[in-house]
Amino acid sequence: MPEKFVFTSNPIEQLEKEYDVVIIGSGSTGLTCAIQAYELGLKPVILEKMDKIGGNTNRASSGMNAAETEVQLANGVVDSFADFYKETYQGGGKLNNQEMLEYFATHTALAVEWLSSHEIELTDLTVTGGMSKKRAHRPASTAPVGAYLIKGLLRIIQKASIPLFTQVKVEHLKKQPSGTQVAISIGEGVQKTIVGRSIVIATGGFGAGSEWIKKYRPELLNYKTTNHSGATGDGLLMAQEIGAELIQMEMIQIHPTVQQDTPHAYLIGETVRGEGAILVSNEGKRFVDELNTRKVVSRAITSLPEKSAYLIFDEKVRNRVKAIEFYNHIGLVESAATVAELAEVLKIDKQNLTSTLAEWNKAVTTKSDTEFGRKTGMNNKLDAGPFYAIHVAPAVHYTMGGIHVDERTRVLDGNGYVIPGIFAAGEVAGGLHGNNRIGGNSIAETVVFGRQAAQQAFVYLKK
Ligand code: ADP
């Protein structure tokens, strides 16, 4: 049996006084950036405030979107950068930063290739809401992409001996002519300062930051969040202190399918719908194109009197989505041998649910959903028992806004000027997604712009 991979972060005594690139945050953005910086011959360090590595990336489930990849061709999917751009732009309400989006759409295939050259293989495909093609690349095992990615990146970090310190919280940045002073706290009351010749802010979003939510979207304060507790928007404050502008801060994504009947909110990945599940109301009827964008599906659920819905699927969907084993294991999934019995378990109208499934299966056969116009995730009928249901409702999931950057990840001030030597990438950066992030685009963003941040830090340092 292969040995279990164990990663150990560095003891704090090994922290040096100065680095070429100080990377704040150990999500996929930070780890990718560190590897790219190291491969360019720079000396990076990763600082992570939590004891756990991987941030919200650990929770990403569906996949990594990319267009024009070899994986797509091997699966008979002919795609184009232009379509990927156009659909992301439409999905984002045409509020996306177009230079960032252009760079993104044309670099995701390279990012998948780069991962593959580092033995991180995403060779299976699925589809997410708002995308006309299968673009979400995921592991062959169909396992959730985030944890797989973090583990793969950490293997490289370990091999290259790139220093990574956990429980080191960056508090402030201070620009000096010789570099940027990084004020950190290490455990209770211990403060220290190190110098970064360049800085990459990769601290993630503020989906668990109630102060920010209160400021920009107070009506969302009573929503649950799918975010890890460290997603408090620290990077926004430290960037603001050195003159950065924040943009689109009110654009907070609500994810439509979150199981929240227990104190913990569990995101039910978009793949479940991508692989064929439908949504029904308490009446047992469909009410939306389940693979429309997240904002549309969330709105449809909150417009129901019960403000929640059931994801309904069969054994075949379960076999195509590994994460369902986990959802089932922790008790989030209801099941029954037949559709009628499932209706009984859910206490919804038996006849309605039975005819909803029959109608849906007809739509799958004829490839025409006359009721709601769904076009994707319709390759298989829902006809193989047992049948399953997960009770879901929308929750705060992702923050599209953040630090104003350009397509080179350079941080900009309120007048559009570059703040030299400071870069930001991943969820902390604003602009790529417009007012609605497409499922699968966040992981793609972390790899594309994590690499870009390291490349631009290199260019800056060589000047
Ligand atoms: P992304 O998807 O952009 O990589 P993640 O949420 O996956 O974002 O990762 C961001 C990481 O940054 C998290 O692990 C989070 O704990 C860490 N982080 C946030 N604020 C700080 C801070 N002040 N100091 C160090 N690490 C931080």
Distance 1 CA to ligand 1 centre (A): 33
Read off the pLDDT of residues 263-292 as tens digits, 9 standing for 90 and up: 899 999 999 999 999 999 999 999 999 999
Choice from 48, 206, 400 to test ligand 1 binding pocket (greatest atom count within 8 A of CB): 48
Angle at 198 between CA 165 and CA 151, to 5 degrees: 40
Q: What is the pLDDT of residue 449?
A: 99
Both tokens of residue 239? Answer: 């960037």
Q: What is the pLDDT of residue 177?
A: 87
Q: Which of 386, 95, 408, 396 is nearest to 267 (CA)?
A: 396
Which atom of ligand 1 is closest in space to residue 146's alpha carbon?
Answer: 7
Which atom of ligand 1 is closest in space to residue 230's alpha carbon?
Answer: 16
Q: What is the pLDDT of residue 2?
A: 64
Average pLDDT over residues 359-369: 98
Average pLDDT over residues 444-457: 98
* Ligand 1 pocket, Cβ-based, cut-off 6 angstroms: 24-30, 47-50, 55-57, 169-170, 202-204, 230-231, 234-235, 426-427, 446
- How many residues make up the chain in this entry? 463
Specify the DSSP class assigned to residue 56: G
Which atom of ligand 1 is closest in space to residue 427's alpha carbon?
Answer: 3
Q: Of all protein residues, whose CA lies closest to atom 8 belonging to ligand 1?
A: 204
Question: Does 294 qualify as catalytic in the annotation?
Answer: yes
Which atom of ligand 1 is closest in space to residue 227's alpha carbon?
Answer: 6
Q: Which of 319, 365, 374 is nearest to 129 (CA)?
A: 374
- 3-class DSSP state of 96: coil
Angle at 433 between CA 320 and CA 180, to 5 degrees: 115
Residue pair 93/435 in contact by the 8 Å Cβ criterion: yes
Distance 48 CA to ligand 1 centre (A): 7
Q: Which of 59, 197, 286, 294 is catalytic?
A: 294
Q: What is the pLDDT of residue 463?
A: 87
Residue pair 24/47 in contact by the 8 Å Cβ criterion: yes
Q: How would you classify the pairing of strands 252-259 and 266-267?
A: antiparallel
Average pLDDT over residues 325-350: 97
Specify the DSSP class assigned to residue 261: S
Distance 395 CA to ligand 1 centre (A): 20
Both tokens of residue 243? Answer: 């003159």
Q: What is the pLDDT of residue 187?
A: 80
> What distance in Å separates the CA atoms of residue 238 and residue 122, rounded to the nearest whole number?
35
Which atom of ligand 1 is closest in space to residue 428's alpha carbon?
Answer: 3
Which atom of ligand 1 is closest in space to residue 28's alpha carbon?
Answer: 4
> What distance in Å separates the CA atoms of residue 403 and residue 84, rounded to the nearest whole number?
24
Both tokens of residue 387? Answer: 């049948």
- 3-class DSSP state of 393: strand
Q: What is the pLDDT of residue 74?
A: 98
Read off the pLDDT of residues 121-180 as tens digits, 9 standing for 90 and up: 999 999 999 999 999 999 999 999 999 999 999 999 999 999 999 999 999 999 998 899
Choice from 22, 49, 154 to test ligand 1 binding pocket (greatest atom count within 8 A of CB): 49
Read off the pLDDT of residues 396-406 as tens digits, 9 standing for 90 and up: 999 999 999 99
> What distance in Å separates the CA atoms of residue 359 and residue 363, rounded to the nearest whole number?
6
Q: Does 134 or 4 have the greater pLDDT score? A: 134
Q: What is the pLDDT of residue 1?
A: 59
- Could you tell me how far CA 65 lies from the centroid of its own chain? 10
Give the pTM. 0.94
- Could you tell me how far CA 118 lies from the centroid of its own chain? 21
Average pLDDT over residues 72-92: 98
Tell me the CA distances in angstroms from 34 to 154, 160, 166, 169, 453, one per residue in order: 10, 10, 15, 17, 9
Q: Of all protein residues, whose CA lies closest to atom 17 belonging to ligand 1?
A: 25
Residue pair 206/231 in contact by the 8 Å Cβ criterion: yes
Helices (H), 94-233: 98-105, 108-117, 145-159, 210-216
Q: What percentage of the chain carries pLDDT values higher than 90?
A: 97
Distance 27 CA to ligand 1 centre (A): 6
Q: Of all protein residues, whose CA lies closest to atom 13 belonging to ligand 1?
A: 55
Q: Which of 193, 227, 265 is nearest to 54 (CA)?
A: 227
Distance 358 CA to ligand 1 centre (A): 46
The answer, yes or no, to whether the previous bond of 386 is cis (omega within 30 of 0) is yes
Q: Find the helix packing angle between 350-366 and 339-346, rounded to 10°.
A: 130
Both tokens of residue 19? Answer: 């680095």
> What distance in Å separates the CA atoms of residue 190 and residue 15, rounded to the nearest whole number?
14
Distance 117 CA to ligand 1 centre (A): 25
Q: Is a pLDDT exceeding 90 seen at residue 3?
A: no
- Could you tell me how far CA 437 lies from the centroid of its own chain? 9
Distance 383 CA to ligand 1 centre (A): 42
